[in-house]
Structure 1
Amino acid sequence: MPNLIPFARAATAACLAAVLAFVVMASAHAAPAPSLPHGNAAVGQKLYQSCMGCHSLDENDVGPRHRGVVGRPAASVPGYAYSTALRKSGLVWTPDVLDRWLTNPQKLVPGAKMYFSVANPNNRADIIAYLSQQR
């Protein structure tokens, strides 16, 4: 009976090489992850006026203060009564998370207090650019 083990090893190695080549080629042609539009902070400052019905940069109001929001853990401003859902979310307010939040807060965190959304992606990017400067 012939020894087929070397042949089986070679066939397995060839199959693995083919699969690896396919994965590498497929990933090279994959669409890049969508990124946020580049925001204009000056425009964002004007757009932020519509947020001021509930928010302020420096004082908690109907919503929490926003100064320093970018990079801050969600539900972490002292003295503001956050929803249980947002407190348990584990989110950090990165630009990407803020974009998703402003797109649809209830979809991102069902049970959050905020219902207001910003439909236009350029407007969201402008507001986020403005908030990024408010340290």
Structure 2
Amino acid sequence: MKFPFAAMLVTAALSIAPTAATAQNAANAGAQTFNTCRACHTLNAGGRNGAGPNLHGLFGRQAASAAGFSYSPALKASKIRWDEKTLSDYLEAPAKRVPGTRMVVKVADPARRAALIAYLKTETSK
């Protein structure tokens, strides 16, 4: 009778392992996708603005509110508060979501966009 219990433990362990690997793959995909963004944005607290604003503290923040960056009038007027949904919509098609935005890079693939958002959520809150 001990064998079925042992088999259940092995099955449970095997079902957990892919989840950890999947999470690591998603983190890697998010970091890799951010390499495109890195040309314009930084993530660290007190980081510089580039062609785009520093993204530290992004989630929960009102769009166009980071100090020291000159935002487009369109983004200032957008009334967006950044969360996973608003950021996903924006990254999918920035010019469609906020006509007149200066952001030209889009992340059309939903899986890459989700991985990027998860990465940003972690990295911009450190």
- TM-score (norm: length of structure 1): 0.68
Percent identity of equivalent pairs: 40
**Aligned residue in 1 for 2:39:** 53
Q: CA RMSD in A?
A: 1.6
The structure with the greater share of residues assigned to helix is 2
Match of 1:3 in 2: none
Q: Partner of 1:40: helix, strand, or coil?
A: helix
CA apart distance, 1:129: 0.1
Consecutive unaligned residues in structure 1, runs of 5 or more: 1-37
Higher relative contact order (CA 8 A, sep 6+): 1
- Structure 1: distance between partners of 2:33 and 2:93: 17
2:30 is aligned to 44
> Residue type matched to 2:114 in 1?
A
Normalised by the length of structure 2, the TM-score is: 0.73
Q: Which runs of 5+ in 2 are unaligned?
A: 1-22
Between the two proteins, the alignment pairs up a number of residues equal to 98
Q: 2:59 aligns with which of 59, 70, 76?
A: 70
Q: Computing the radius of gyration over CA atoms, which structure comes out larger, 1 or 2?
A: 1
Write the deviation string for residues 81-112 of structure 1: whole angstroms up to 9, x where unpaired.
Answer: 00011001110111001001110001110001
